[in-house]
Structure 1
Amino acid sequence: MADNKIFIFDTTLRDGEQVPGCKLNTTEKVALALELERLGVDIIEAGFPISSPGDYESVNQISQNVREATICALSRAVKKDIEVAAQALKYAKRPRIHTGIGTSDFHIKSKFNSTREEILERAVQCVAWARNFTDDVEFYAEDAGRTDNEYLAKVVEAVIAAGATTVNIPDTTGYCLPGQYGEKIAFLKNNVSNIDKAVISCHCHNDLGLATANSIAGVIAGARQIECTINGLGERAGNTSLEEVVMILKQHKHLDLHTNVNAQLLNPISRLVADTMRMPVQPNKAIVGANAFSHSSGIHQDGFLKDALTYEIINPEEVGAEQSKIVLTARSGRSALAYRLQKLGFQFNRNDVDALYQSFLQVADVKKEVKDEDLLQMANEYQPQTEVA
């Protein structure tokens, strides 16, 4: 296994589906799973089989249809959960059971009314149960972001000894700062004697808007798997955005980290997920938002038209987006107006554009955006004979 490969664990169908209003049926889940496989994700978390008959059936059907990606099923640290997950995965070519328990004192005392010692025993036990069904077992230490590092290291060492091949370090509440999360991963790398026997995974939530930053801090510190969702869907404020981490690693080549994701499919699958889950993407969303490659400020437009690299670090074609857009507003300048008029087939000199710009500003002050039909009317009224045949 190349040490600079980052495994992409997609949980759109499990954590992403927990968004209110985003419930999927089995047919929809299978269709999205096949697209995720085509995208190049390494692991697809297909669902939580014990939670409902529908989720069990979805995991079962995805296991039968997806042949390349690892198919993962979630469970609690409960024997019946794990048995049902294993049954749902029975047709999977590459099955993984994802099991675990909360490790922070908040969870231990308030959620479980237990002790650190008892939780450690339950952690080891659930991994041992899962290993009866598959040799690919991932353990999650829920609320690891707020778990004492010394105790977390003790739990991680014990579950790896019990057979866990991936250890998931979730920032379940999105609490950590990137420096804190990176330090937590580094602490495990340096203080867990058998850490070389497992892959460390980042599962970060976006409650403070830091999910992507924390995941990147985690892989820089030595984690080699990122758990994420298309469009950043997920509980509350969402999960780490798949498209963001993929493109960060692609852009920052000095990190010498890469994924198997085909970036040109990012925008198409973003739109598919948004449509299927009935959850529109916010226009200013990085990489896949409608405005990600749109320019409306005059200063930005002028620089972009001279050299796209002045204001775009990603070519839209690289992520399967439509070409960059020059959006005309009251903040736009003469160069953007001249560019759009030229696109419509008009050839105006500088004096013409200066004169037209005054008319343009009058329209722009009334409308949020000046459209092609506005420009056509303006240009034809000004000098219709200059139109190119």
Structure 2
Amino acid sequence: MSDKIYVFDTTLRDGEQVPGCQLSTGEKVEIAKELELLGVDVIEAGFPISSPGDFQSVREISKAVSEPIICGLTRSVEKDIEVAADALKYAKRARIHTGIGSSDFHIKYKFNSTRDQIIERAIRATKFARNLIDDVEFYCEDAGRADIEFLARMVESVIAAGATVVNIPDTTGYCLPEDFGNKIAYLMNHVPNIDKAIISVHCHNDLGMATANTIAGIQNGARQVEVTMNGIGERAGNTSLEEIVMILKTHKQMGYHTDIDSKKIYLLSLLVSKMMRMPIQANKAIVGRNAFAHSSGIHQDGVLKNKDNYEIIAPEDVGVPNNSIILTARSGKAALNYHLKRLGYYVEKETLAEIYHKFLALADKNKDIKDEDLIKLMGGKIVDSHIEIVDVKVICGNSVEPSATVELLIQGEKIAATATGNGPINASLRAIDKIIKEKVSLDEFLVQAMSKGSSDTGKVHMRVDHKGFMYYGFGVDEDIVMASVKAYIAAINKMAFFKKAKKHHVRATATK
């Protein structure tokens, strides 16, 4: 029988503290509904007294979500707590999250106070909150650097005052996993009323140890984890929800479980990334675009023979459609043959070696091997399915609605369309959608400067979804609109090749 670990999601509070990632109330409600479907136990919806917008967001989320506990953050200030209780009045299950600093750094330099005075404030705030709402969580801010005996005294005091959950945060990401685990173990063994509350851990990633510290906390008695989607949050971020969930799911021998539906992780990760305008790093565990991508020939051969050789998590378990076998100069014959079969080329074994030598020469030259490169390598004609850009014209400014007219060459025919959008790039992509008459969803859009300066060349990376398949496109141009159009067309061309290849399965030999 495994122990349940409660998942406290703070994407909408701590996660939203990232500069430039603020959300509207409507966006917060949409994410909260998806978090409910994901199966989180608690949603920290905001800090109600901080702004009218945060107050409204907590109130609207309380109305829209019924299963998870809805939590509002406060300081150990009565006015904060009153406002939070008001914001939470429509919640089916409400929690006030109040607290104060516990380290001597905070006590002396933040509050200009003493340990005894801080304990008194903690007790007073907990009792006041408990008189308004039955479920009160108390955070001992900067517990990672707090004196352990004083921390134990604080925890005992707030539990006696009515706290149902006590949060032990490594606020600055300072602790080593062994030290943090020992801190939780000390509290479990030295606080006499510890059985009257759930111990929670809230770890930051300043030294890259948030996930490891959270696991150490669980192993030593914590039963609630405070996490965010994609690990977003203040400074270097928080513990990543997807990492904790999949660690516990992968290591069943640890004896812990969550109620998270892991198959919903990937799509929610993309939604949060898109709404918060914060790209997911390519090598991010679980949800990064390279998390299930293989480019080394040895790894590719192993995965193609049996995924378990190099994948400890099935992509489908987190909602990723499939893994990716990326063709590079490091790829082996197995990977090349896999992609040739995908395109409809069934190559005789004795000719594969000859094709492979030509492929390596091409990969050394081109770096990024596309489907059309393979079709050319096999002597196929790609003109019929290749989409080329003829012309792009955009109109934008602060007094006009952005619009774009795009002309493409498809199968020898020039086709143009005009569309409006929220900017010149969006308008251009909508015009292309009108021409191709296919439903394409833009899942990732990244812009990278090639060097420096306002006249720099820009590189655009896009990931698009078409009928459950992911396609990537890259575009480079001094004009960022043109770079974006090139990237979008590059991704669409891969769809065209894929569809065409499925219709024309041929048995091929190497071309001379």
TM-score, structure 1 as length reference: 0.97
- Identity of matched residues, %: 63
Question: Quick one: distance in 2 between partners of 1:297 and 1:144?
Answer: 43
Q: Which amino acid aligns with 2:157?
A: A
Q: Does 1:80 align with 2:103?
A: no
Q: Counterpart in 2 of 1:308?
A: 307
Partners of 1:176 and 1:214 within 8 A in 2: yes
Paired residues in the alignment total 386
Q: Counterpart in 1 of 2:329?
A: 330
**3-state SS of paired residue (1:312):** coil
Partners of 2:8 and 2:226 within 8 A in 1: yes
Partners of 2:95 and 2:136 within 8 A in 1: yes
Q: CA deviation at 1:127?
A: 0.3
Q: CA deviation at 1:367?
A: 2.2
Q: Counterpart in 1 of 2:360?
A: 361
Q: Counterpart in 1 of 2:151?
A: 152
Q: Counterpart in 2 of 1:8?
A: 7
Q: Counterpart in 2 of 1:57?
A: 56
Q: Provide Cα deviations, 1:214-260, integer angstroms capped at 9, x if missing partner.
A: 10110111100000000001000000000000000000001110000
Question: Quick one: distance in 1 between partners of 2:505 and 2:272?
Answer: 46
Question: Quick one: distance in 1 between partners of 2:307 and 2:39?
Answer: 29
Q: Counterpart in 1 of 2:487?
A: none
**3-state SS of paired residue (2:74):** strand
Question: Quick one: distance in 2 between partners of 1:365 and 1:146?
Answer: 51
Partners of 2:204 and 2:238 within 8 A in 1: yes
Q: Does 1:198 align with 2:201?
A: no
Q: Which amino acid aligns with 1:93?
A: K
CA RMSD of aligned residues (A): 1.5
Q: Counterpart in 1 of 2:173?
A: 174
Q: Does 1:245 align with 2:364?
A: no
Q: Counterpart in 1 of 2:468?
A: none
Structure holding more strand per residue = 2
Partners of 1:154 and 1:192 within 8 A in 2: yes
Question: Quick one: distance in 1 between partners of 2:342 and 2:268?
Answer: 30
**3-state SS of paired residue (1:61):** helix
Q: Which amino acid aligns with 1:387?
A: V
Q: Does 1:91 align with 2:90?
A: yes
Q: Counterpart in 2 of 1:130?
A: 129
Q: CA deviation at 1:349?
A: 2.2
Q: CA deviation at 1:172?
A: 0.2
Question: Quick one: distance in 1 between partners of 2:368 and 2:176?
Answer: 39
Q: CA deviation at 1:72?
A: 0.1
Partners of 2:2 and 2:255 within 8 A in 1: no
Q: Counterpart in 2 of 1:45?
A: 44
Q: Counterpart in 2 of 1:113?
A: 112
Listed as ranges, the matches of 1:371-386 within 5 Å are: 371-380=370-379
Distance 1:49 1:29, change over 3 A: same
Q: CA deviation at 1:351?
A: 2.5
Partners of 1:7 and 1:42 within 8 A in 2: yes
Q: CA deviation at 1:306?
A: 1.1
Q: CA deviation at 1:335?
A: 1.1
In structure 2, stretches of 5+ residues that fail to align are: 382-503
Question: Quick one: distance in 2 between partners of 1:115 and 1:62?
Answer: 38
Q: Which amino acid aligns with 2:278?
A: M
Q: Counterpart in 2 of 1:25?
A: 24
> Where does structure 1 differ by over 3 angstroms across 4 or more consecutive aligned residues?
none
Q: Does 1:387 align with 2:499?
A: no
Higher relative contact order (CA 8 A, sep 6+): 1
**3-state SS of paired residue (1:317):** helix
**3-state SS of paired residue (1:9):** strand
**3-state SS of paired residue (1:309):** helix
Question: Quick one: distance in 1 between partners of 2:185 and 2:170?
Answer: 15
Q: Counterpart in 1 of 2:188?
A: 189
TM-score, structure 2 as length reference: 0.74
Larger radius of gyration: 2
Listed as ranges, the matches of 1:267-286 within 5 Å are: 267-286=266-285
Greater CA drift, 173-182 or 363-372:
363-372
Q: CA deviation at 1:369?
A: 2.1
Q: Which amino acid aligns with 1:134?
A: I
**3-state SS of paired residue (1:93):** coil
**3-state SS of paired residue (2:82):** helix
Question: Quick one: distance in 2 between partners of 1:80 and 1:277?
Answer: 30
Partners of 1:4 and 1:257 within 8 A in 2: yes
In structure 1, stretches of 5+ residues that fail to align are: none
Q: Provide Cα deviations, 1:123-159, integer angstroms capped at 9, x if missing partner.
A: 1111011001111000000000000111100000000
Partners of 1:15 and 1:235 within 8 A in 2: yes
Q: Provide Cα deviations, 1:260-308, integer angstroms capped at 9, x if missing partner.
A: 0000000010001111111111111111111111100011001111111
Q: Which amino acid aligns with 1:276?
A: M
Q: CA deviation at 1:3?
A: 7.2
Q: CA deviation at 1:388?
A: 4.3
Structure holding more helix per residue = 1
Q: Provide Cα deviations, 1:102-132, integer angstroms capped at 9, x if missing partner.
A: 0001101111111111111111111011001
Q: CA deviation at 1:379?
A: 1.1
Partners of 1:348 and 1:386 within 8 A in 2: no
Q: CA deviation at 1:381?
A: 6.1
